[in-house]
Amino acid sequence: MAAVTSESLASLRSDLAATISSADLSVADELFAALDVLEGSASLRRSLTDPARQPAERAALARTLFGNKVAEPTVSVLEAAVSRRWSSERDLGDALETLAVTVTAAKAERDGLSGLEDLESALLGFRHTVAESHELQRAFTDAQATPEAKQRLAARLTPSVPAEARLLIDRAVTQPRGVRPTRLVEKFASAIAARQQRWIAQVTVAKQLDSAYLQKLSTSLDKYFGRELKLDVVVDPAVVGGIRVQVGDEVVDSTVAARLNNLSRTLAR
């Protein structure tokens, strides 16, 4: 992924965090629908990614095109997306797909870690079922089969999955965007797995911790990060002492090794 696109996607996720965290599943569905519109019109893709146009102009065009067709949160996401710079026209579509999956994951996340785990399990279960059957692979890649027929087949294979999984599976089998449906489902599952890291505290210590200390640590970390976390404790004598905690991209490092490294860097200046 080119640097410009990576920066734009990162800023979108950051700026839209509040919108994404509260959006319902219809917003993800509408983002996918908007992506389909872009996929069907090269001239529209060029207009919405043209760096010669001012960001506000591109945002206004997006609102004109979609404002009366989708909910306000979706319009806000679309305006923000087209206001960014993208390395290629397709990158805008990739970003909308990523944001739709993120909205879906955030909806599942409201049920806690179990919601994300159920979503990932449903996606991987579907992928494994299809991957083990050449007949199913042919059915889902058959250019003559209608999207509705593929959705019905997917529903028969996964009759009791959560609504979030149903949306992503249906998307993968009807609009795989040039890749195999199983590959797209795997991509979606990877995004869900990455989001689960926000619920797992990777704790590195120099020696094994007793159960009483672990309970106190768990309570403290839950309070600090504002959510119930699962502890993944790793014993590494190299840290010497103290503790290192990583939750997603956030790191709290109070190990002796880290303090010594910081001191060494200070002395070397």
If we measure between CA atoms, which residue out of 180, 16, 24, 193 comes closest to residue 96? 16
Residue 266 · residue 237 · CB < 8 Å: no
Mean pLDDT of 120-136: 93
In this structure, what token pair is assigned to residue 126? Answer: 């579907």
If we measure between CA atoms, which residue out of 172, 85, 82 comes closest to residue 126? 172
**15 exposure class (CB count in 10 Å sphere: 0-12, 13-18, 19+):** middle
Query: Model confidence over 137-193: pLDDT tens digits?
Result: 999 999 999 999 999 999 999 999 999 999 999 999 999 999 999 999 999 998 998
Residue 260 confidence class, pLDDT cut points 50, 70, 90: low
What average pLDDT is seen over the chain? Answer: 90
Residue 108 · residue 115 · CB < 8 Å: yes
Residue 170: CB atoms within 10 A of its CB come to 18
Q: Cα–Cα distance between 150 and 130 in angstroms, integer?
A: 12
Determine what percent of the chain is predicted with pLDDT higher than 90: 68
User: 20-29, 187-196, 210-219, 229-238: lowest mean pLDDT where?
Assistant: 229-238
Packing angle, helices 113-131 and 89-109, rounded to 10: 120
**pLDDT number for residue 164:** 97
**pLDDT number for residue 113:** 77
Query: Model confidence over 36-64: pLDDT tens digits?
Result: 999 999 999 999 999 999 999 999 999 99
User: 71-75, 216-220, 224-228, 261-265: lowest mean pLDDT where?
Assistant: 261-265
Residue 167 · residue 104 · CB < 8 Å: yes
Residue 86 · residue 69 · CB < 8 Å: no
**36 exposure class (CB count in 10 Å sphere: 0-12, 13-18, 19+):** middle
Determine what percent of the chain is predicted with pLDDT higher than 70: 94
Residue 177 · residue 183 · CB < 8 Å: no
**pLDDT number for residue 256:** 60
**pLDDT number for residue 259:** 63
Mean pLDDT of 63-76: 95
Q: What pTM did the predictor assign?
A: 0.79
Starting from the edge strand earliest in sequence, which strands make up the sheet with 250-253, in order?
230-235, 200-205, 243-247, 250-253
Residue 1 confidence class, pLDDT cut points 50, 70, 90: low
Q: Cα–Cα distance between 189 and 6 in angstroms, integer?
A: 20
In the predicted structure, residue 268 carries a pLDDT above the cut 80: no
If we measure between CA atoms, which residue out of 177, 185, 171, 205 comes closest to residue 31? 171
Highest mean pLDDT among 1-10, 163-172, 234-243: 163-172
In the predicted structure, residue 216 carries a pLDDT above the cut 60: yes
Q: Report which DSSP code applies to 54.
A: -
In this structure, what token pair is assigned to residue 11? Answer: 């800023």
With vertex at residue 55, the alpha carbon angle to CA 50 and CA 59, rounded to the nearest 5 degrees, is 95
Residue with tokens 């404790």: 233
Residue 266 confidence class, pLDDT cut points 50, 70, 90: low
Mean pLDDT of 230-246: 83
**pLDDT number for residue 80:** 97
Residue 171 · residue 155 · CB < 8 Å: no
